[in-house]
Amino acid sequence: MHDTLHPDRLVVGVFSARADRVLRAVYRPMLRAGVPYFRTDPATAELVKVAANAFLATKISFINAMSEVCEAAGADALTLARAVGADPRIGRLFLEPGLGFGGSCFPKDIRAFAARAEEIGAGAAVTFLHDVDRINTRQRRRTAELAARLLGGGSPAAASGCWAPPSSRAATTCATRRPSPWPPPCATGAPPSASTTRRPWTTRAPRSPASPTPWRCPRPARARTWSCT
């Protein structure tokens, strides 16, 4: 809501002066506040949106690719990001190694941008977006694998927020308030899927002589989706 009421710029794609006047009237409070206003044609306005998101996605994947190189070279990725971002031509925003981008905009926009560019004969100009997407997907897998190693496991399942006990221990039974996905990975030992990694859960094994104290998966700060007993 804040971004809607306080945008960085307004870009409108119109065919007529009348449409421009109407939009200027609608956004008059923002224009009075000094928000930059760009009047252009619809094609350019659409490209402004996807080009901005493609650039930010590229910046995120770039620094994550550099973090992978840093890991192999024994360098410090955080220091690299700060030093590179100190260049005013580059800046620090969106230049932070991490899980990569997600949400409802960046993945959809870069894929749709690349597909549409292919349709209009400009696919070669945006082939790098496929690499941006692949780097982003690989970064999630690398993060899960790193977390699994740090937790002492050999499988990305260990990074899902759920630890399954050895088969010799008491069996795990789970119940969930939501019908999907089922069973949760903690019950099967299977690697988490994209749908389950977004839904934290907790589990508890029944008491038994072999397991006198109930164990629990690590609970994220807002683990409200799954409740296993």
Answer whether 52's CB lies under 8 Å from 46's CB.
no
CA distances from 94 to 4, 37, 84, 91, 139 (A): 20, 24, 12, 8, 15
d(CA 77, CA 68): 8
- How many residues would you count in the chain? 229
Catalytic: 105?
Answer: yes
| DSSP reduced 3-state for 202 | coil
Tell me, rounded to whole angstroms, the distance of Cα 116 from its chain centroid: 23
* Pick from 91, 111, 115: nearest CA to 101: 111
DSSP string, 67-80: HHHHHHHT--HHHH
Q: Which of 70, 105, 186, 217 is catalytic?
A: 105
CB atoms within 10 A of CB 200: 20
* Among candidate residues 9, 6, 8, 13, the one with its CA nearest the CA of residue 29: 6
State the Cα angle at 205 between 199 and 211, rounded to 5°: 145
Which tokens belong to 107? 């993945």
Residues marked as catalytic: 105
